[in-house]
A and B are shown apart, each in its own frame.
Chain A
């Protein structure tokens, strides 16, 4: 089984809808991250969490929110989706050496 799982893998939605992307990990890491990937822009950090009680904004947090329900679960929400949030979204965890482990990604399309 994969160490970092994401659901759903693909999602098509309409402008204005609320969307939640879920991430679970079995690696036992405290640190978790959400990124978005756009062509030619690499990965940009949306939010990160160093433990269940610690949530921090990344470089592009506007329009997104997160919830850390447990050490193993970190969800990303788009309260009112807009077309420029169409992207590939990745969840990751990291160990104490800062090596990050990525999920398979969620491809989100906002029409």
Chain B
């Protein structure tokens, strides 16, 4: 079956530091890949996505590249801000078989950014 593995957290950084959150996946087909962010007290919201190999998703200074050869979709940001403190979820959707129309989520990574 499909699965998503994220680097274990929590991650604590100082403002303006470089961020990487690792995400690897296993899938039976050709999945689309997503990063969702959950700010304190809120629901998840889409941060970025990529639908095919070598695509780069980007939003709000965050980037992630769909790497089929390494089955990875690592999230990066060059300079984090305090307002980026949140929980980040990697997810995939697979259009094949019993996975059709459903997202598989990683366990989430808590990011805390200090001034």
Interface of chain A: mostly helix, strand, loop or mixed: strand
User: B32, A97: Cβ atoms under 8 Å?
Assistant: yes
In the bound complex, CA of A90 to CA of B46 (Å): 14
User: A31, B101: Cβ atoms under 8 Å?
Assistant: yes
With A31-B101, A98-B101: A90-B107 Cβ-Cβ less than 8 Å: no
In the bound complex, CA of A41 to CA of B51 (Å): 25
The size class of the interface chain B forms with chain A is: 20 to 34
In the bound complex, CA of A75 to CA of B19 (Å): 38
**B29 smallest CB distance to A (angstroms):** 12
**Residues of B contacting A98 with CB < 8 Å?**
32, 93, 95, 101, 103
| CB 8 Å contact bits of A43-82 with B (1 = contact, 0 = none) | 1010010100000001000000000000000000000000
Binding site for A on B (CB under 8 A): 32, 34, 36, 42-46, 49, 51, 89, 93, 95, 101-103, 105-108
